[in-house]
Amino acid sequence: MRIRVPDRRELPVLQDIERAAGRWFRDIDMPEIAEDDPPSVDKLASYQLAGRAWVVADPADAPIGYLIADVVDGNLHVAQLSVHPDHARRGLGRRLLDHLVDQAALGGIPALTLTTFAHVPWNAPYYLRCGFRVLADRELTAGLREIRQREIAHGMDRWPRVCMRREVWARRETPGPP
């Protein structure tokens, strides 16, 4: 399975992946999250054009997971990471995160950040296993505070949420194209 930049024609597939992955939230009594719309094709295209969208593709080169990232306070912020449930629990999300770490290291970016649900098994507990740590309120940057305010306004704080950070260590090899 390889990681690559998505083609614009594949962007609706990314929406389908997110919708499918969102269904798991119904099973844990979070139907509002399951029904939340994925980013629009135009929004996904903006990530693709900015060079901050990647897919993990199956052997037939069809996307089965994706990651999009923002730049927040000088760090790469995981805006969305989704793997289709038919391909879950195979390390694909971790591979996408490790790819983002590599991209950050090549760009001299010090860390990855994200916000997520504190108690959903495939959210904060998963990211802890992937090298992230929960940030204390005093550690939140202005950009992370702004993201949290948008999440609160969107009603996501019905369930506990946390901000997390993963440090990036510089790569030793010569930087090449992302």
In this predicted model, what pLDDT tens digit does every residue of 118-153 receive, in sequence order?
989 889 999 999 999 999 999 999 999 999 999 999
Rounded distance between C-alpha atoms, residue 162 and residue 169, angstroms? 23
What is the C-alpha to C-alpha distance for residues 54 and 67, in angstroms, rounded to an integer?
5
Class of domain 2-167: alpha beta
Domain borders along the chain are 2-167
pLDDT in tens, 33-56: 888 889 999 999 999 999 999 999
Coil, strand or helix at 30:
coil
Task: Mention every residue, 6+ apart, whose C-beta is less than 8 A from residue 39.
Answer: 15, 18, 47, 68, 80
pTM of the model: 0.89
